Amino acid sequence: MSINPDQIIKFSPMHRLQWEEVQQKDVILYPEGMVELNQSSAEILKMCDGTRNLTQIVSDLEQQFATTGLVNDITAFLEVALKNGWIQQK
Amino acid sequence: MAGSNKNNITPPRWLLAELTYACPLQCPYCSNPIDYAKYQSELDTEDWKRVLTQARKMGAVQLGFSGGEPLTRKDLPELVKHARGLGYYSNLITSGYGLTEEKIIELKEAGLDHIQVSIQASSQELNDHIAGTESFQHKKEVAHLVKKHGYPMVLCVVIHRENIHQMPQILEMAEELGADYLELANTQYYGWAHANRDLLLPTKEQFEQAEQIAQAFKEKVAGKMKIYYVVPDFHEDRPKACMNGWGTTFLTIAPDGVALPCHSARELPGLDCPNVKDYSIDQIWNESKAFNFFRGYEWMKEPCSSCDEKEKDFGGCRCQAYLLTGDMYAADPVCSKSPNHSVIQEAIDSARASALSDHEKPLIFRNSKNSKKLS
């Protein structure tokens, strides 16, 4: 499964992304399950709010963290996210 | 209460709220205790709210409203609302019996995240026989309504000898109903299922065939439907890592307020399981005798205590060790290293003999009359 760089990405309405105070991390919640996220994965998923495509997510995150060269890492993670149904492209 | 090294205790993640033992269905593999009829009292709404608040504060985030049939509790929407406010992900684990469209909408507005509907078989005749109640058509309607109102839907089918031959039709039904997840739960032999084991336990050939069909289906629907396959441990040679380790992750509260490290732990002797009416969840989780009983590895006997796999499966299931060997400290006899491993083959042989017999005894259905008779 691959990401179309021009298509808008949104977080799946069948999952919930939430900050867990006790664990001090973001998690994805879904029926009877939970995935714990590291900080960079969480930051990428928060960008999947239905207003940006891959190209915009990369440029916004590079700007936010004052860095460059994130495209490969972000693409690879979003492909995993798509495969797991955490995000959608429509 | 017994002491323990508090530093090694991880916080609960999963809270199973068994709101009631009342249920309109009579499934003969029910995981409720055989003697459930003697526990008549139920926590009230305020008790449950307090429990939810305290467990959430400790870190519990997945919440299952279960039973019995949780829909029989009139305060369910109020509890769902309270849970949503606290940030739980709420799962309703229901037979679907008595669930109307109005209720589905009310629960959605209250903040319910997901509904798991159980179906007993892929045909009306067998479903209604196993459930002990005419319910098949209604369950299918409920499944459609759950999807219509935007919930993720888990279809749960408990697999046993009476329905395992329907595996292809069960998979077809899940697809037709638009399930997002299909839980194929091979029966675990506790409670009522233990009492009915000779009639429910499939042969190894049946398991293997059904598993193969389910595996092929899993690949076919990848990306559309997820399959949770609960392994039939009687045909394995290593035990399951029961509850992800005792007192590490799961907290069950029974209808009368008794806190249990797993939903079968009521069957174990001498644990003195604490009640939420007497103690806070923090005290129960961290300090109670019951929750510390099988934490860590100190309690283990051989072959577990020197086993290099003990950190993987924690010696298996304590309830299964107790039910099958009479010793709750023993290795789960599913393990081929267990000196009692032969009891598993004896159970499989006994079930096969029962299946081939001309005079198979009838299933014992889960109802108050049978509960009183058996306890």
- Taking the C-alpha atoms of residue B152 and residue A32, their distance in angstroms, rounded to an integer, is 11
Sign of CA dihedral B326, B331, B332, B333: negative
User: pTM, whole model, 2 decimals?
Assistant: 0.94
Angstroms from B14 CA to nearest CA on chain A: 9
Under DSSP, the state recorded for B359 is: T
Contact predicate A11/A45, CB 8 Å: yes
| Model pLDDT for residues B281-324, shown as the tens digit of each residue | 999 999 999 999 999 999 999 999 999 999 999 999 999 999 99
- Nearest C-alpha neighbor of B203 from the set B342, B343, B354: B354
Cβ within 8 Å, pair A18-B113: no
Q: Which residues pair with A21 in a beta bridge?
A: none
- Taking the C-alpha atoms of residue A46 and residue A20, their distance in angstroms, rounded to an integer, is 15
Cβ within 8 Å, pair B91-A32: yes
Q: φ and ψ at A12, to 5 degrees?
A: -65, 130
DSSP string computed for B164-191: GGGHHHHHHHHHHHT-SEEEEEEPP-SH
ipTM of the complex: 0.91
Flag whether residue B154 sits within 8 Å of chain A, measured between CB atoms: yes
Cβ within 8 Å, pair B226-A16: no
- Taking the C-alpha atoms of residue B248 and residue B40, their distance in angstroms, rounded to an integer, is 29
Angstroms from A32 CA to nearest CA on chain B: 7
- Residue-by-residue pLDDT tens, chain B, 375 positions: 444 455 589 999 999 999 999 999 999 999 999 999 999 999 999 999 999 999 999 999 999 999 999 999 999 999 999 999 999 999 999 999 989 999 999 999 999 999 999 999 999 999 999 999 999 999 999 999 999 999 999 999 999 999 999 999 999 999 999 999 999 999 999 999 999 999 999 999 999 999 999 999 999 998 889 999 988 899 999 999 999 999 999 999 999 999 999 989 998 999 999 999 999 999 999 999 999 999 999 999 999 999 999 999 999 999 999 999 999 999 999 999 999 999 999 999 999 999 999 888 899 999 999 999 998
Q: Is B81 helix (H, G, I), strand (E, B) or coil?
A: helix
How far apart are the two ends of chain B, measured CA to CA in Å?
29
Contact predicate B81/B53, CB 8 Å: no
**Radius of gyration of chain B measured on its C-alpha atoms:** 20
Across the interface, of A18, A22, A83, the residue whose CB is closest to B59 is A22
CB-neighbour burial class of residue B137 (10 A; exposed 0-12, middle 13-18, buried 19+)? exposed
- Taking the C-alpha atoms of residue B233 and residue B237, their distance in angstroms, rounded to an integer, is 8
Cβ within 8 Å, pair B152-A34: no
